[in-house]
Amino acid sequence: MNLNKPLNALLASVLGVGVLLSGAVNAQNYPDKPVTLVVPFAAGGPTDSIARLIAVPMGKSLGQTVVVENAPGAGGTVASNKVAKAKPDGYMIYIHHMGMATAQALYDKLPYDPMKDFEYIGQVADVPMVLLGRKNLPPNNFKELEAYIKTNKEKVTMANAGPGAVSQLCGLIFQSKLGVRVTTVPYKGTGPALTDLLGGQVDILCDQTTQTIPYIKDNRVKVYGVTTPKRLSALPNVPTLDEQGLKGFDVKVWHGVYAPKGTPKPVLDKINAALKKALADPDVKARLDSSNIDIVPVAKQNGPALQAHLDAEINRWGPIIRKANIPD
Ligand code: MLT
Residue 298 lies in a domain: yes
Tens digit of each residue's pLDDT (9 = 90 or more) over 4-44: 444 444 434 444 444 444 444 468 899 999 999 999 999 99
Q: Is 54 a member of any domain?
A: yes
Q: Rounded to 5 degrees, what are φ and ψ at 253?
A: -95, 110
What pLDDT, in 10s, does the model give residues 180-237?
Answer: 999 999 999 999 999 999 999 999 999 999 999 999 999 999 999 999 999 999 999 9
For 189, the domain range is 134-226
Rounded to the nearest angstrom, the distance between the alpha carbon of 164 and the centre of ligand 1 is: 9
- For residue 164, give the ligand 1 atom closest to its CA: 8
Q: Does 296 share its domain with 318? A: yes
Phi-psi region of 19 (alpha: psi -120 to 50; beta: other; left: phi over 0): alpha
Per DSSP (E only), the strands in the chain are: 35-39, 66-70, 92-97, 118-134, 157-160, 183-186, 204-208, 221-226, 252-260, 294-295
Residue 2: inside a domain: no
Atom index in ligand 1 nearest the CA of residue 42 equals: 3
Domain at 154, CATH number: 3.40.190.10
pTM attached to this predicted model:
0.90
Cα of 291 vs centre of ligand 1, distance in Å, is 15
Shared-domain flag, residues 183 and 160: yes
pLDDT per residue as tens digits for the range 118-146:
999 999 999 999 999 999 999 999 999 99
266 inside domain: yes
Average pLDDT of span 269-290: 97
- Boundary-marking domain end, from 157, 191, 226: 226
- Residue 94: CA atoms inside 13 Å, Cβ hemisphere, count? 33
CA nearest neighbour of 131 among 98, 106, 156, 155: 156
Sign of CA dihedral 224, 168, 183, 41: positive
Q: How far is the CA of 41 from the centre of ligand 1 (A)?
A: 6
Based on the fold, state whether residues 123 and 190 are members of the same structural domain.
no
Q: Are residues 109 and 44 in the same domain?
A: yes
Give yes or no for residue 99 CB within 6 A of ligand 1.
Answer: yes
Q: Pick the residue whose CA is nearest to atom 8 on ligand 1.
A: 165
CATH number reported for the structural domain that contains residue 119 in this entry: 3.40.190.150
Residue 71 lies in a domain: yes
Does residue 5 form part of some domain? no
How do beta strands 221-226 and 66-70 pair?
A: unpaired
Nearest CA to ligand 1 atom 2: 47
Ligand 1: nearest atom to the Cα of 191: 3
Domain count, the chain: 2
Q: Is residue 21 part of a domain?
A: no
Per-residue pLDDT band at 326 (split at 50, 70, 90): low
Regarding whether 274 and 305 lie in a shared domain, the answer is yes
Read off the DSSP letter of residue 36.
Answer: E
Specify if 7 maps to a domain.
Answer: no
